[in-house]
Amino acid sequence: MKIPVDRITDSPRALDFQATAAWWQERVAADAELASGLADPVRVHVSVHRMGDDLYLDGALEGALDLVCGRCLSRYRQPIRERFRLVLEPAGSRVPADPEGAELLASSGLHLSDELDTGWYRGSEIRLDRFVQEVIALLFPVQPLCREDCRGLCPRCGIDRNTDSCSCEEVRTSSPFAVLETLRDRLR
Ligand SMILES: [Zn+2]
Ligand SMILES: [Zn+2]
């Protein structure tokens, strides 16, 4: 996802990129749950122009996440659609305080603020990969649910209450691991 800086003028230029599942897996490999979570591919549209030395990026990304429901453990797809704006000013001789930020500026020509809406650029080419990665990562739900009213699994017998019913008595379980234990027992 490269943008050549010298081709950015004061009239907006449209660029399209694709974030593939393979690209995503490579970048977040350390987190297995995250790594399996992107449905292929996410489309990234960017319009870029300059005002003086500052670069303005306006864009949107669109695709879907491939998630596991926290209640019924089924996989489901969640469409994502997110707009973003990013204003970049020349880094000049500034050096990011954190080593990771300094490394990214050197390798990608880009340094991002924590809010992901401003940053610095350096050199003849900007690589947007890290920025897109951060934006996508923020779209992952903390508690994935296949649907708002997912009924989950029976904590006794483990059946999916969305599709089946059982005659187990309702138990009040205090342990969030009870469901998993039931499942494990059933798999033996
Ligand atoms: Zn569910
Ligand atoms: Zn049951």
Per-residue pLDDT band for 174 (boundaries 50, 70, 90) equals low
Q: Which ligand is nearest to the CA of 72?
A: 1
DSSP class per residue in the chain: -EEEGGG--SS-EEEEEEE-HHHHHHHTTT-HHHHT-EEEEEEEEEEEEEETTEEEEEEEEEEEEEEE-TTT--EEEEEEEEEEEEEEEE-TT---SSHHHHHHHHHHSEEE-TTSSEEEE-SSEEE-HHHHHHHHHHTS-SS--SSTT---B-TTT--BTTT----PPP-----TTHHHHHHHHHH-
- For 22-75, the pLDDT digits (tens) are 999 999 888 888 888 998 789 999 999 999 999 999 999 999 999 999 999 999
Q: Which ligand is nearest to the CA of 68?
A: 1
Distance (Å) from CA 134 to ligand 1 centroid: 26
At residue 96, the pLDDT reads: 85
Range 158-186 average pLDDT: 77
Distance (Å) from CA 13 to ligand 1 centroid: 42
Distance (Å) from CA 163 to ligand 1 centroid: 11
State the pTM of this model: 0.80
- For 84-119, the pLDDT digits (tens) are 999 999 998 888 888 888 888 988 899 988 888 899
At residue 114, the pLDDT reads: 84
Per-residue pLDDT band for 139 (boundaries 50, 70, 90) equals very high
At residue 173, the pLDDT reads: 56
At residue 132, the pLDDT reads: 93
Distance (Å) from CA 67 to ligand 2 centroid: 24
User: What integer best gives the mean pLDDT of the chain?
Assistant: 89
- For 60-69, the pLDDT digits (tens) are 999 999 999 9
Distance (Å) from CA 21 to ligand 2 centroid: 37
Distance (Å) from CA 169 to ligand 2 centroid: 7
Q: Which ligand is nearest to the CA of 157?
A: 2
Distance (Å) from CA 82 to ligand 1 centroid: 24
Contact 158, 182 (CB under 8 A): yes
